[in-house]
Amino acid sequence: MAVVDILDLPAALPPMTPLTGLDLGEKTIGVAVSDPTRLIASPLELIRKVKFTDDAARLLKLMDGRGSVGLVIGLPVNMDGTEGPRCQSSRAFGRNLLRLRPELAIAYWDERLSSAAVNRMLIGEADLTRARRADLVDKAAAAYILQGALDRLG
């Protein structure tokens, strides 16, 4: 498939298939998945980065296990709306995934403040320690990113 606008994503996918959401960090990849109706996002897994081929293999295996052929990748846009090196890295990750799996449909979603929002939630509502929060924040941020995209689609 290709990179598509978020609003064009549903038309690019078979009906009743989940979407996968990613929060790409420097050392980890937070992975979330939606239900088949694409209404609710849930954290799924945290992939500790090793090298792209290993990371991609793990991600694609997770997607295959869920029947997901659509991906929403969080795009870390600067607060002024510009795209810096981290956005370029996220887009490169998407391009490289498409080389491995050309039939994927990928959309990008502005993830500004997603990690901050998740951290506030985990501190305030879940009362978790800093170490435990670090383990949860990236996959929870992936769910937050995916849920934002799902809400926009709804």
For residue range 65-120, what is the model confidence (pLDDT) as tens digits?
A: 999 999 999 999 888 888 889 999 999 999 999 999 999 999 999 987 666 666 56
Tokens of 101: 């799996």
Is 21 within 8 Å of 33 (Cβ atoms)? yes
pTM: 0.86
- Rounded CA-CA distance 148/128 in Å is 24
**Model confidence pLDDT, tens digit, residues 35-61:** 999 999 999 999 999 999 999 999 999
Domain that holds residue 98: 2-153
**Model confidence pLDDT, tens digit, residues 5-27:** 999 999 999 999 999 999 999 99
Into how many domains does the chain fold?
1
**Nearest alpha carbon to residue 151 among 17, 19, 16, 13:** 19
Which CATH number do you get for residue 69?
Answer: 3.30.420.140
Residue 146 has pLDDT above 80, yes or no: yes
